Amino acid sequence: MSSYLPHTQAEVKAMLEAIGVKSIDDLFSEIPAGLRLNRPLDLPDGLSEAEVVDEMNDLAQMNYGANELLCFLGAGIYDHYIPSAINHLLLRGDFFTAYTPYQAEISQGTLQAIYEYQSLLCGLTGMDVSNASMYEAGTALVEALNMAKAQTGRTRVVIPETVHPEYRRVVKTINAQMGIEIVTVPFEDGVTDMAKLAEVVDDSTAAVVAGYPNFFGSVEDLEALANVAHNVGALLVVTADPLSLGLLTAPGDLGADIVCGEGQSLGIPMSFGGPSLGFMACKEALLRKVPGRITGATVDKTGRRGFVLTLQAREQHIRREKAGSNICSNQALMALNATIYMSLLGRDGIRDVANQSFQKAHHLKKELAARVPAVSFPFAAPFMNEFVIKVPNAKRLLLKMAKQGVLGGVALERWFPSLKDHLLVAVTEKRTAEDLDYYCELLGGLTS
């Protein structure tokens, strides 16, 4: 029997007697014979902890990640430094083995942390309201477009190609089955083509979406995008990288109505893309349309401050088929992770991390331009810490770079046939001047 079962034989016997049956099998007797599995599951035998660890180590060692290779990959998931204190706090069993804080009196730790998370997210994004978090960025955008539909009563959304192509695919999978029409707009010089955008936005448009920074790392003119949307009564939905907001103006100050996206950059391990943190924040006017959990401050019977899940009348466990969304969980532990990260960094730290990432990315681009003649740069738009390069034989080059210790970028061809041989290169504060030098040297050597 596994060490997770505490039963002694004597206890089992006493329990069976109390129930009034002879064996555990009797408790399954009402399962009709035809529905019973009459053989053992075809799975390996159980293992001791030491054996499990060995087997898992073998699998883990077949991967070569950011600990072995210099990581210049981004596109939503970034290799930032994660302060040690975070993991120690997340491993407190009182946090990670708790359930949803339905019994508020014995869940104040989780509830207050979510309240702090909501506030920090609102502060960073310049929004009034944040929910307690969503699964990840793609589904957060799905919910944001749903909100826009509910708020405007319109069913068309405009999503430029500069928004992460994976988010757009998720939107196509889900929103398109919810009666939402999706219109795409091309890019020009790495940002949304404003002329083409103006052609398709009209008074049937519920929302215009913008990436900030966008998928190519470029910094879009959010104010101009907001104007296009607001002129026809549509909402501006922004997918943002929250860490970049240490350097970039809050989208709320530039006209965004909803800000959502991927929060992994806030101290969460890359972990092959999940679990991560979808976030969702909006202006006050959209409060009643927000999906998912929200924590609010209140008082107890003696007047002390306390926190509860609130505005639950929006949610599925009350409204069932009339709920605006089916979401029934949040990424509480990942939200806590981000909250601890934002608390440790503070206002100076987040600016420093964003700035160093910006500085190092710009340095790399400048060095590449000066030292590697085979590299060209298709876009001149302003960028944050991620940019696009063109190289000969991009896919083969990436494999060669990996063999020499560098994860050199994300090939864009899989989403953009027109961007064959283009790589998206991300730089974080973790990369040193030496790493950047090596990147240039390697790329120069492999392309000469």
Partner 1 sequence: MTEPLIFELSADGRRGYTLPKLDVPEIDPADHIPSKMLRREIPLPSLSEVDVVRHFTRLSRLNHAVDVGFYPLGSCTMKYNPKVNEDMARLPGFAAIHPYQPEETIQGALALLHNLEHALAEICGMDAFTLQPAAGAHGELTGLLIIKAYHRKKKNARTKTKILIPDAGHGTNPASAAMLGFEVVNLKTSSRGGIDLDDLRAKATPEVAGLMLTNPNTLGLFDENLTEIAKIVHGVDGLLYYDGANLNAIMGWSRPGDMGFDIVHVNLHKTFSTPHGGGGPGSGPVGVKAHLAGFLPSPRISFDGKKFKVTDKHADSIGPVRTFLGSFGVLVRAYTYILTLGAEGLKDASSYAVLNANYMMRRLQKTYKLAYDRTCKHEFVLSGKPFAEKGVKTLDIAKRLLDYGYHAPTVYFPLIVEEAIMIEPTETESKQTMDEFIAVMEKIAAEAMTDPEKVKGAPYNTPVTRLDEALAARKPDINFFKRRP
- Residues 129-148 touching partner 1, rule: CB under 8 A, are 129-130, 132-133, 135-139
Considering beta carbons, is residue 199 or 271 the nearer one to partner 1?
A: 271
Considering beta carbons, is residue 434 or 448 the nearer one to partner 1?
A: 434
Give Cβ neighbours of residue 176 (< 8 Å, ≥ 6 apart).
182
Considering beta carbons, is residue 233 or 297 the nearer one to partner 1?
A: 297
Judge if the upstream peptide bond of residue 213 is cis by omega within 30 degrees of 0: yes
Asked if 198 is part of the footprint of partner 1 (rule: CB under 8 A), the reply reads no
| Shortest separation between residue 444's beta carbon and partner 1, angstroms | 18
CA 131 – CA 141 distance, rounded (Å): 13
CA 158 – CA 185 distance, rounded (Å): 7
Count Cβ neighbours within 10 Å for each residue of 51-81 and write b for 16 or more, e otherwise: eeeeeeeeeeeeeeebeebbbbbbbbbbbbe
Helix (H) or strand (E) segment spanning residue 153: none
Name which of residues 399 to 418 contact partner 1 (CB under 8 A).
399, 402, 407, 410, 414
CA 340 – CA 343 distance, rounded (Å): 5
Name which of residues 338 to 357 contact partner 1 (CB under 8 A).
339-340, 342-353, 355-356
Asked if 386 is part of the footprint of partner 1 (rule: CB under 8 A), the reply reads no
Sort strands 205-212 and 156-160 into parallel, antiparallel or unpaired.
parallel
Considering beta carbons, is residue 202 or 444 the nearer one to partner 1?
A: 444
Tokens 């970028």, residue located: 409
CA 401 – CA 439 distance, rounded (Å): 9
Per-residue string for binding with partner 1, 166-195, x by CB under 8 A?
xx-xx-xxx--xxx----------------
**Would you say how long the chain is, in residues?**
448
| Shortest separation between residue 230's beta carbon and partner 1, angstroms | 17
Q: Which of 9, 22, 58, 417 binds partner 1 (CB under 8 A)?
A: 58
| Shortest separation between residue 156's beta carbon and partner 1, angstroms | 17
Considering beta carbons, is residue 35 or 195 the nearer one to partner 1?
A: 35
| Shortest separation between residue 416's beta carbon and partner 1, angstroms | 14
Considering beta carbons, is residue 201 or 345 the nearer one to partner 1?
A: 345
- Residue closest to 210 by CA, chosen among 159, 244, 254: 159
Listed ranges 150-158, 182-190, 426-434, 438-446: which one lies at the site for partner 1 (CB under 8 A): 426-434
- Residue closest to 110 by CA, chosen among 295, 281, 338: 295
Q: Which of 46, 370, 417, 448 binds partner 1 (CB under 8 A)?
A: 46
Instruction: Classify residue 218 by its DSSP letter.
Output: B
| Shortest separation between residue 250's beta carbon and partner 1, angstroms | 7
Name which of residues 278 to 337 contact partner 1 (CB under 8 A).
284, 287, 293-302, 304-308, 310-313, 315-323, 325-334, 336
- For 199-247, the DSSP string reads HH--TTEEEEEEEET-TTSB---HHHHHHHHHHTTPEEEEEE-GGGGGT
CA 290 – CA 281 distance, rounded (Å): 8
| Shortest separation between residue 448's beta carbon and partner 1, angstroms | 22
Asked if 380 is part of the footprint of partner 1 (rule: CB under 8 A), the reply reads no
Considering beta carbons, is residue 234 or 266 the nearer one to partner 1?
A: 266
* Neighbouring-strand partners of residue 160: 185
Asked if 66 is part of the footprint of partner 1 (rule: CB under 8 A), the reply reads yes
| Shortest separation between residue 203's beta carbon and partner 1, angstroms | 24
Spacing of C-alpha 378 from chain mean position: 27
Q: Which of 274, 421, 438, 444 binds partner 1 (CB under 8 A)?
A: 274
Using only C-alpha atoms, the chain has a radius of gyration, in whole angstroms, of: 25
Q: Which of 153, 155, 255, 363 binds partner 1 (CB under 8 A)?
A: 363
Listed ranges 16-24, 181-189, 192-200, 202-210: which one lies at the site for partner 1 (CB under 8 A): 16-24
